[in-house]
Amino acid sequence: MFRTHDRARAFLAASLSALLLWTPLTPALAAEGEIERTVVLVELREGMEGNSLSIDYLRETAKALAEAASGDFIVVPTDKVVERVGGNRQQVPTALTDERRASLDEARKKGVEYLDKADAANAIKALRAAEAKYRAAIAAPGADEALRRAYLDVLAQLATAHKIANDNDAAREVFRTVITTFGATAPITDNDYRPDVVAIFQSVVGEMKKMPQGSVEVSSSPAGARVLVGGIDRGETPAQVQNLIPGLYSVRAVQGAATSLLHRVRVEAGKATKLSIEIPFESHLVLEDANVSLSYKDMDEARARMSSDGLAIGKAMDVNVVAVIGVVDRKLQAFLIDVATGKVRQPTATSVPQIGVSKRAVARVAQAITGKGDVPPPEEAQQPWYTSVPGLALGGAGLLSLVVGLTFSGSLGNITIFPCETDTTLDKSQCPTGKYGTTNGQIAAQLAKGDIYSDRTIAGVGIGLGAALLAGSAVMFYLHSLGGAGAEEAALLQGRDGVLTLPPASFGSARTVFIAAP
């Protein structure tokens, strides 16, 4: 057996060993806690049309985050979100209105004007922007032959601008897109374009006809969607579209009323290119020049889809948190998705004015993300008063205490206190104190030892404590009724139960509380 000093020595050795092992780990853990986290802000829409007020709240939330936690995390700029989430995908217009057609024509004319001035650099920039708009437009419902001819002209003018800039390779790449979109017989002739530009087109046609053909394998989730390649229906997913001339193709999947975005796919000679499309996600995703949005028909659909759609954006961006924010049903709705766990919580659905931006509402959203600062008082009731957990707990404890107090008080009512000397029925030898007795003629010696005072004390404390707890319960219910879920939410956001925080707490940790979406 160990002697005392042996045990002391063993304890000291174990402590030193643990310290030596822990020392090199400490800086690493501290460094890990100091890594900046990344947040993406996404617009929430009801329907496909945007809401300028939602954009204002997104902008103000980004400012509030920069002020609240500078250096703790990074808010990803919206143009980077469009670039990364969009990738090779593009939004297809839901309808070709007269205004949209006029906008397309204006974009084309702008590029041609630069070209007429021999300003090749600005012509290329303007015509590339016009080309992207026309590419999406010809895939939209209502696209006609006139629109297709205008798109062909944009491509030919873009190739001409590259030729003027002495970039023949870029011009040839543009003509490959012409061939995969309009075919090798596309009307690029001397009647409309420069002979040297037409010569490049004919050279590319001859080159591509000699190349081995390729294919594209399209799968979708769910399966059974119609596949449109260059606007032509090529069957249901999973589908293998063969005999394609190498080059860039526009591919889209449609399933009932749901449609994917327009994908740009490069088909290589003699190879099969694979493409997988998540139709439900893409049917709710809206990509614009400077904004990414998630669109839903109503808030019920938003709550059902938010976890999976927000997670898809988060993974595409490789970020920690996706905050989906927008004004819907005259309320500022906000959802926070933890990319590591896929969990989502809705920290606020606050009524806001329809003109201007509520600083209180912005502060609530920023606080929910960072866990820093004071939470503004809740502005509306969101849950019934009787759902207050602290109120229910205090009320239950108060009732129990009151029952105990009343029980002991009732037992005291069966005892009559009177001087022992005046009761002739009592044996005076059983009255050691000579002061107390009972009506039934039996001496309770314990009374002389102070038990009666214990009963009185328990009764008094029980009744008093019960009344105090019930009063506290009423206060909690009242506070809860003022803010609905606000009282509990404020406690959550202030850190008593953990919050959706950026450093130093990690997402999904035991300190973090998330509410899973339905």
Least confident stretch, 10-24, 93-107, 153-167, 342-356: 10-24
Q: Encode pLDDT of 69-119 as tens digits.
A: 566 678 888 888 888 888 889 998 888 899 999 999 999 999 999 999 999
Q: So what's the pLDDT on residue 288?
A: 83
Q: So what's the pLDDT on residue 497?
A: 35
Least confident stretch, 35-49, 262-276, 381-395: 381-395
CB distance 170 to 125 below 8 Å? no
Closest by Cα among 491, 301, 473, 338 to 401: 473
What is each CA distance from 464 to 396, 399, 468, 476, in whole angstroms? 15, 11, 6, 19
Q: So what's the pLDDT on residue 164?
A: 94
Q: Are residues 258 and 191 in the same domain?
A: no
Whether pLDDT at 225 is above 90: yes
Residue with the bigger pLDDT between 406 and 197: it is 197
184 occurs within a structural domain: yes
Contacts of 165 (CB under 8 A, 6+ apart): 120, 121, 124
Q: State mean pLDDT over 269-277.
A: 93
For residue 417, count other CB atoms closer than 10 A to its CB. Answer: 12
Q: Are residues 235 and 154 in the same domain?
A: no
Q: Are residues 173 and 224 in the same domain?
A: no
Band of residue 294 on the pLDDT scale cut at 50, 70, 90: very high
Q: Are residues 189 and 247 in the same domain?
A: no
Q: What are phi and psi of 419, to 5 degrees?
A: -65, 135
Q: Measured at the alpha carbon of residue 466, what is the angle toward residues 463 and 469, in degrees to the nearest 5?
A: 150
Percent of the chain with pLDDT over 90: 36
Closest by Cα among 156, 114, 154, 159 to 138: 154
Q: So what's the pLDDT on residue 34?
A: 54
Band of residue 265 on the pLDDT scale cut at 50, 70, 90: very high
Number of domains in the chain: 3
Q: What does pLDDT average to over the chain?
A: 77
Stated length of the chain: 518
Q: Are residues 204 and 141 in the same domain?
A: yes
Q: So what's the pLDDT on residue 507?
A: 37
138 occurs within a structural domain: yes
Report the distance separating Cα 364 and Cα 372, nearest Å. Answer: 10
405 occurs within a structural domain: yes
Q: Are residues 266 and 187 in the same domain?
A: no
**Residues 436, 439, 441, 445: is their CA dihedral positive or negative?**
negative
Range from 2-16, 210-224, 367-381, 386-400 that averages highest in pLDDT: 210-224
Q: State mean pLDDT over 6-14.
A: 41
What token pair was written down for 221?
A: 């989730």
256 occurs within a structural domain: yes
Q: So what's the pLDDT on residue 85?
A: 87
174 occurs within a structural domain: yes
What token pair was written down for 45?
A: 């829409």
Q: Are residues 186 and 254 in the same domain?
A: no
Percent of the chain with pLDDT over 70: 72
Q: What is the CA radius of gyration of the chain?
A: 38
Of 162, 195, 210, which marks where a domain is finished? 210
Report the distance separating Cα 488 and Cα 381, nearest Å. Answer: 12
Q: Are residues 101 and 203 in the same domain?
A: yes
Q: So what's the pLDDT on residue 402?
A: 78
Q: Are residues 202 and 99 in the same domain?
A: yes
**Residues 42, 44, 48, 49: is their CA dihedral positive or negative?**
negative
Whether pLDDT at 281 is above 80: yes
Which H or E run contains 469?
Answer: helix 451-483
For residue 345, count other CB atoms closer than 10 A to its CB. Answer: 21
Region of 282 (left: φ > 0; alpha: ψ -120 to 50; beta: rest) is alpha
Which H or E run contains 261?
Answer: none
Q: Are residues 183 and 115 in the same domain?
A: yes
- Which residue carries 């005392």 as its tokens? 4
State the CATH number of the domain containing residue 232: 2.60.40.10
Of 184, 210, 236, which marks where a domain is finished? 210
451 occurs within a structural domain: yes
302 occurs within a structural domain: no
Report the distance separating Cα 403 and Cα 219, nearest Å. Answer: 68
Domain of residue 240 covers 214-283
Report the distance separating Cα 272 and Cα 282, nearest Å. Answer: 23
Q: So what's the pLDDT on residue 442?
A: 45
What token pair was written down for 488?
A: 């509990």
Band of residue 506 on the pLDDT scale cut at 50, 70, 90: very low
Band of residue 163 on the pLDDT scale cut at 50, 70, 90: very high
Q: Are residues 227 and 205 in the same domain?
A: no
Q: Encode pLDDT of 454-484 as tens digits.
A: 667 777 787 888 788 888 888 877 776 655 4
155 occurs within a structural domain: yes
Q: Encode pLDDT of 400-445 as tens digits.
A: 887 877 777 765 544 544 455 555 555 555 554 444 444 444 444 4
Residue with the bigger pLDDT between 134 and 363: it is 134
Q: State mean pLDDT over 383-390.
A: 71
Report the distance separating Cα 402 and Cα 404, nearest Å. Answer: 5
Q: Are residues 437 and 450 in the same domain?
A: yes
Q: So what's the pLDDT on residue 475?
A: 83
State the CATH number of the domain containing residue 119: 1.25.40.10
Of 283, 305, 328, which marks where a domain is finished? 283
